[in-house]
A and B are shown apart, each in its own frame.
Chain A
Amino acid sequence: MLVQSIVTGLLVGSVYSLIAVGLTLIWGIMELVNFAHGSFLMLSMYICYAFFLWFGFDPVFTIPIAAVVLFVLGFLTYKVIIAHIMKSPMLFQILTTLALQFLINYTLFFVAKPTFRTIKVGFWNGCFVYAGIFIDKAMLAAFAACVLGFIFLYIFLHYTKVGKGIRATTDNPKAALALGVNIEMMYALTWGISMALVAVAGAMLSRMLYVHPTVGDKFGLLAFVAVALGGFGSIYGALLGGLIIGVFSTLAGVYAIPWMKLPAVFVVFVIVLIVRPRGLFGRK
């Protein structure tokens, strides 16, 4: 039972990690918390739903489409809105991304109606047993997609010119600017990449959950928790934080009361924020 919970937790946690990494990228580079993060996740789920509805696509095949669409959306969000509030007081930054959440969620309410929708495809249904442990096929696919997402991100950040530019801007924007890095572009690209990562996570979640305009909010909050656990701005911290939440919430669900799963995570979140605001693995 314990091993089972840990395995399930790690699989679920990988999805949380991917969402959290997007959030921490933005935080790291511009000290801004994107409260609309979960809404972008929800958007990706709707894109998958639409492609399933119209063409019968399995969400796995919609990943590239969703990633591109959300990359563009993220890029534009920065250019059109976020770029103008970078120098505003924190209050306005927080409320702008919150307003964005409102805008996206209720636009979907308006367009898609608050109906609970499901993507039912035969591909990867059920689960298989390995050494006495049940592994859900959809979850394993999600895990695989998230791992691939991380690998892509790692290669991108470490071996491409743009990726290096983003890392340089995160470390020291002024020095990066002096060295000729177009930091405005780096900010916009970070938003794009962050949203593309969210798109991958959303696509994988879309066949496990009901698709609904507010489905993303919970994941947005969970991403905050993962980021807080790992230390704000730290990519590996967010990765680890997501896995910890996955395991912790599964264990809490199994060994305590099922509905306590999420509240337990949030309680830990508040405690971590207060006791160790730099996160469990944060350095600063």
Chain B
Amino acid sequence: MLNKRVRFNKQGSTLALYLGLLILLLFLPRIIQGPYYRHILVFTLMYVVLAQAWNLTGGYVGQIALGNAVFFALGAYTSTLLVMRANVTPWIGMWVGGVVAALVALALGSVVLKLKGHYFAMATLAIGEIMRLWFSNWKFVGGAQGFSVPLRGSSWYYMQWTSKIPYYYIILMMAVLVTYLVHRLDRSKYGSYAKAVNQDEIAARSRGISAFRLKQASFALTAFITALVGTFYAQYVLYISPQSVLIMSLSILVAIIPIVGGVGTVWGPVLGAVFVFPLTEFLRAQLGGQALGLNYIFFGLAVIFVVMVEPLGLVALINKIGQAIRGGRGGAHAGTEH
């Protein structure tokens, strides 16, 4: 009985599921108390957005960018410099940073996006290092020491609060909006073009899709979203330096999360971040301060496991489980196929 109804109202039930999830997320900081746990929530959501942004270029179009820290840093540095030197509110600085990052992505992309596969990955990795070394030695942006964002207590104008709750709602909003955007893009012409280019670029081009334009557009969008999160990070942590926002491991991490969740899918980046972050933080808390870097070790293992066992990531795994639960026989068949 229940099974039939679920199948009948599939769209309705999915919508209900999403709404339920949203309501849960809205009340989560009331349920989860304590600054440490709220901090994990904020960071998890931050990586959801960063991974979504990476997925647009890496997962959909198939250009594996390993230098997204550049855009993250552009966002963080632009808004911080604006607020420090010109007293411009980060609410504006955020968008300026986004535009700067998107323009840089377009400029870089016009050259680098001609590269494919390994070559693109290595070039973006190198660009990230160039920028880190450059910013570490550039006095105007604070050099290797970076900046402390001046403290103003709790202030909307300066986008900083002593409580973690406002930060949570800002990043939650960003995560929901970006995920919705990716969802829409996934269903749109853009999404199918991107998948076509990813699968067979020559065939896609022969059908009249401008692969290069598409790559540029998604790279710019990736940069824009990543930079917005960069500003958020600067305002949340209130300290930025090349060692915190321009490190290679940040660029790699945002590429690894979607892989764990399911690359080139709407929910992959979400699942990847939500599954791995709280779990690893929990492990770390259990092991105490000694467990430095343990969460990254876990990430590394998760990726290798996913690639070897279920290349489509957690999304596919959950789909399989869902099928098995929903339809007895159908699910069983789907299970035996693999």
Contact = CB atoms under 8 A, between A and B. Distances in A.
Interface of A: 33, 35, 81, 84-85, 88-92, 94-96, 98-107, 109-110, 113-114, 213, 217-218, 221, 224-225, 228, 257, 259, 262-263, 266-267, 269-270, 273-274, 277
A39 to B, nearest CB: 10
9 contacts: A88-B307, A95-B259, A99-B307, A102-B252, A103-B301, A103-B304, A105-B293, A257-B137, A274-B114
A81 B304 contact: yes
A95 to B, nearest CB: 5
Interface string B213-257: 000000000000000000000000000000000001100110110
Contacts of A98: 66, 252, 255-256, 303
Contact of A96 (B118, B136, B248, B307): B307
A225 B123 CA distance: 10
Given A35-B121, A273-B122, A274-B112, 11 more contacts: A88-B311, A94-B118, A94-B121, A99-B303, A106-B300, A110-B294, A113-B292, A221-B126, A259-B133, A270-B123, A274-B111
Contacts of A221: 122, 125-126, 129
B58 A91 contact: yes
Contacts of A113: 292
Interface residues of B, number: 46
Contact of A95 (B114, B126, B249, B256): B256
Contact of B256 (A99, A273, A274): A99
Interface in B97-151: 111-112, 114-115, 117-119, 121-123, 125-127, 129-130, 133-134, 136-137
A120 to B, nearest CB: 25
Contacts of B21: none
A91 B198 CA distance: 11
B62 interface: yes
B263 interface: yes
Contact of B136 (A94, A103, A259, A269): A259
B118 A270 contact: no
Contact of A262 (B133, B263, B308): B133
Nearest to B63: A91
The list of the 4 closest CB pairs from A to B, nearest first, reads A103-B300, A109-B293, A99-B303, A106-B293
Interface of B: 58, 62, 64, 66, 111-112, 114-115, 117-119, 121-123, 125-127, 129-130, 133-134, 136-137, 248-249, 252-253, 255-256, 259, 263, 291-294, 296-297, 299-304, 307-308, 311
Given A228-B122, A262-B133, A274 B307 contact: no
Given A228-B122, A259-B133, A273-B115, A95 B303 contact: yes
A105 B253 CA distance: 13
Nearest to A227: B122
A2 B296 CA distance: 44
Contacts of B130: 263, 266-267
Given A262-B133, A274-B114, A106 B297 contact: yes
Contacts of B294: 106, 110
B308 A81 contact: yes
Contacts of A92: 259, 307, 311
B219 to A, nearest CB: 15
Contacts of A263: 129-130, 133-134
A273 B116 CA distance: 10
Contacts of A103: 296-297, 300-301, 304
B308 A110 contact: no
A100 to B, nearest CB: 7
Contact of B299 (A99, A224, A273): A99
Contact of B297 (A89, A110, A262, A273): A110
A109 B122 CA distance: 24
A209 to B, nearest CB: 16
